[in-house]
């Protein structure tokens, strides 16, 4: 995460700053080599805790060094947590709280998350709950975290009952999407991140779909201008939805209108159930791709979605290398898991579906016949 320099700006163009409005405004910066921006986001804090997975401990030390050198009195602590979803437990959160207590963390201090979506979710929750809320800056290191977890203020941990059922809304004070960090990301992880990007195309921005459908998938790499545009467009979709409905209070769905922030959960109801069944052995973006194909099939049977748009789901997700079929879990097990989803109301299952590209709505209480037929179509 080397410092931004003139050569880099010439090669990649200037950083893009996407502003998130609302009660607690902040900026999302997209660019290459953004380390020098972290000092400004830390501001006048006396203490900084960098929360990172074990695999990124060396990078965390790299990030910490210039912060310490910038101000003698600044104390930086690196808190190492497990990789992936194993970090998102009450036990790990408690370890972080205890460490903050030992360091004498006050309300003017800052948590920095450095890692993928799970680290971002956990670190955000630790910041939200310590002293009822301290500042957090997200430095996502995966494509998935850049377009999903780092923006919008949702934080959370998992329990035996399901994914992200314990959490808080806590907006960051800044997000640095440093695309140079994606250079070392395994290809499968980059592809998984594209699951959330393509989803944003279906719910809000058809230009994302056009870019995916007309770009050679092999050209979607960290230094690619097209990948950068996809990242910026996906973040812009999330910002638009989140600013209008931060706490998922709902859109104008009563009149058949936009479902608000819930639109971002397109494909996620089945995706979370699959992740639980697979003990989180499947990547989130892969599960989302399967979930989006499922709700497209469901909307085709229970609503107005054309067969052409259903097929477009298969081709768009499949083109970038994501799965579009699934048959590993019994239908009954997945339905049971979906009933404890955060979007369920009582015993009524609710799904975000499409009437067409960029026209999301909520479908409440679909028939078991339609649900089963949509799942069978996945096979």
- Pinpoint the residues of the chain covered by CATH 1.20.1090.10: 187-378
Per the confidence metrics, is the pTM higher than 0.85?
yes
Cα–Cα distance measured from residue 179 to residue 31, given in angstroms and rounded to the nearest whole number: 6
**Topology adopted by domain 6-184:** Rossmann fold (3.40.50)
Tally the C-alpha atoms within 13 A of residue 287's C-alpha that lie toward its C-beta.
22
| 27 closest CA partner among 12, 13, 37 | 37
pLDDT in tens, the chain (379 residues): 544 444 456 578 899 999 999 999 999 999 999 999 999 999 999 999 999 999 999 999 999 999 999 888 999 999 999 999 999 999 999 999 999 999 999 999 999 999 999 999 999 999 999 999 999 999 999 999 999 999 999 999 999 888 889 999 999 999 999 999 999 999 999 999 999 999 999 999 999 999 999 999 999 999 999 999 999 999 999 999 999 888 888 765 544 578 999 999 999 999 999 999 999 899 999 999 999 999 999 999 999 999 999 999 999 999 999 999 999 999 999 999 999 876 677 779 999 999 999 999 999 999 999 999 999 999 9
CB atoms within 10 A of CB 214: 9
For residue 26, give the DSSP letter. Answer: E
Question: The domain 187-378 belongs to what CATH superfamily?
Answer: Dehydroquinate synthase-like - alpha domain (1.20.1090.10)
- Pinpoint the residues of the chain covered by CATH 3.40.50.1970: 6-184
């Amino acid at each position: 995460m080397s410092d931004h320099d003139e050569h880099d700006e010439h090669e990649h163009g200037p950083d893009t700053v996407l502003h998130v409005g609302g009660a607690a405004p902040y900026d999302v910066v997209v660019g290459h080599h953004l380390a020098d921006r972290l000092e400004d986001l830390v501001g006048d804090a006396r203490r900084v805790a960098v929360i990172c997975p074990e695999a990124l401990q060396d990078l965390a030390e790299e990030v910490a060094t210039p912060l310490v050198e910038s101000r003698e009195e600044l104390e930086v602590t690196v808190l190492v947590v497990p990789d992936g979803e194993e970090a998102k437990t009450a036990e790990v959160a408690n370890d972080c709280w205890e460490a903050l207590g030992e360091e004498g963390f006050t309300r003017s201090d800052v948590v920095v998350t450095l890692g993928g979506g799970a680290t971002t979710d956990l670190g955000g929750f630790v910041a939200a709950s310590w002293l009822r809320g301290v500042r957090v800056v997200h430095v996502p290191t995966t494509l998935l975290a850049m377009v999903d977890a780092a923006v919008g203020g949702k934080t959370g941990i998992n329990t035996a009952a399901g994914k992200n059922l314990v959490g808080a809304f806590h907006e960051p004070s800044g997000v640095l999407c440093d695309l140079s960090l994606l250079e070392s990301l395994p290809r499968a992880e980059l592809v998984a991140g594209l699951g959330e990007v393509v989803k944003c195309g279906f719910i809000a921005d058809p230009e994302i779909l056009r870019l995916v459908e007309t770009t050679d998938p092999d050209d979607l790499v960290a230094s690619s201008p097209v990948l950068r545009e996809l990242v910026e467009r996906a973040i812009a979709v999330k910002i638009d939805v989140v600013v209008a409905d931060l706490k998922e209070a709902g859109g104008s769905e009563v009149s058949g209108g936009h479902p608000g922030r819930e639109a971002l959960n397109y494909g996620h109801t089945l995706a979370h159930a699959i992740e639980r069944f697979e003990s989180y052995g499947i990547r989130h973006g892969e599960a989302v791709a399967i979930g989006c194909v499922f709700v497209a099939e469901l909307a085709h049977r229970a609503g107005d979605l054309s067969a052409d748009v259903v097929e477009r789901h298969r081709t768009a997700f499949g083109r970038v290398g994501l799965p579009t079929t699934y048959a590993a879990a019994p239908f009954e097990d997945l339905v049971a898991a979906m009933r404890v989803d955060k979007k369920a109301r009582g015993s009524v299952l609710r799904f975000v579906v499409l009437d067409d590209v960029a026209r999301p709505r909520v479908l409440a209480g679909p028939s078991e016949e339609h649900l089963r037929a949509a799942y069978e179509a996945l096979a």
